[in-house]
Amino acid sequence: MTPRVAILISGGGSNMVTLVKAMQSGEIDATPLVVISNVATAGGLRKARELEVQPISIDHRPYKGDRAAFEADLHDYLLKFEVDIICLAGFMRILTPEFTNKWDGKVLNIHPSLLPKYKGLNTHQRAIDAGDTHGGCSVHLVTGALDDGPVLGQTAVPILPNDTADDLAARVLIEEHKLYPKVLAKFVKSHG
Ligand code: GRF
C-alpha cells in the first residue's frame, strides 16, 4: 500500500499544491489524504479542496497558547486519517518534542535557507545582510529542535546584486517547488 500523506500549512500552500500534484500524477508513489491548516483563512485550504484533497482547519488561537492541547487534537486527526508521513509546507507553528517524538522519522519540512544556516524566520534578509553569495532551500526531517533535523536535500540559489528579500524569496520558492517533490519521492521509495 502506498504511504498516506498529510500536508500541514498556514498560508498560500504553493508547496502543498506541488506535492499534491506530484502524488496525483504518480511522480510520488504516495496518497495525499488531508491538508491541515492552523489558520482557518489560509488560501491553501481552498486549493486543497480544488485538488479534491480533504481540507481541515484546526485554528490554534482558541487553544490560547496551550500547545499540548493543540497538538493532541492535531495528533487525533492524523491518527483518524491513518497518516504515514507528515509534510510541513509553510506550517508556521513550532511543534514540541512531545509531538515530534510520536512521529519520529515521519515528518518532513521545507525551510527557505541552506540549513544549518538561518534557522527560524527572516532567512532571506539574514542571508543578504551576511553578504552570502547564495541563499536556498532545504528539506529536512523534523526533530524536537527547530529546523534542526537531518537534511534530506538542498538547492542553492545565487544572491544577485541589489536583491531584496522578496526578490530572493521568489527565486528560492521556484526551487522549493522542485526540491520538495523530488525529496519526498526519494523518501517514500527508501521507506517503502
Ligand atoms: C515557503 O517559502 C516555505 O519554505 C516557508 O514559507 C513559504 C510557504 O509558502 N516556510 P507556501 O505556503 O508553500 O506557498
- pLDDT tens sequence across 45-103: 999 999 999 999 999 999 999 999 999 999 999 999 999 999 999 999 999 999 999 99
In the chain, the amino acid numbered 37 is S
pLDDT in tens, 36-52: 999 999 999 999 999 99
Q: Is 176 in the pocket of ligand 1 (CB under 6 A)?
A: yes
Please state, in angstroms and rounded to a whole number, the distance separating the CA atoms of residues 106 and 83. Answer: 10
Helix, strand counts (H, E) of the chain: 6, 7
Residue whose C-alpha is closest to residue 32's, from 10, 13, 12: 13
Is 111 labeled as catalytic in the residue annotation?
Answer: yes
**List 60, 111, 140, 177, catalytic entry:** 111
Q: How far apart are CA 165 and CA 162, in angstroms?
A: 10
Report the separation in Å between the CA atom of 172 and the middle of ligand 1, taken as the mean of its atom positions.
10
Single pTM value for the model: 0.97
Q: Secondary structure of 118-151 in the HEC alphabet?
A: CCCCCHHHHHHHCCCCEEEEEEEECCCCCCCCCE
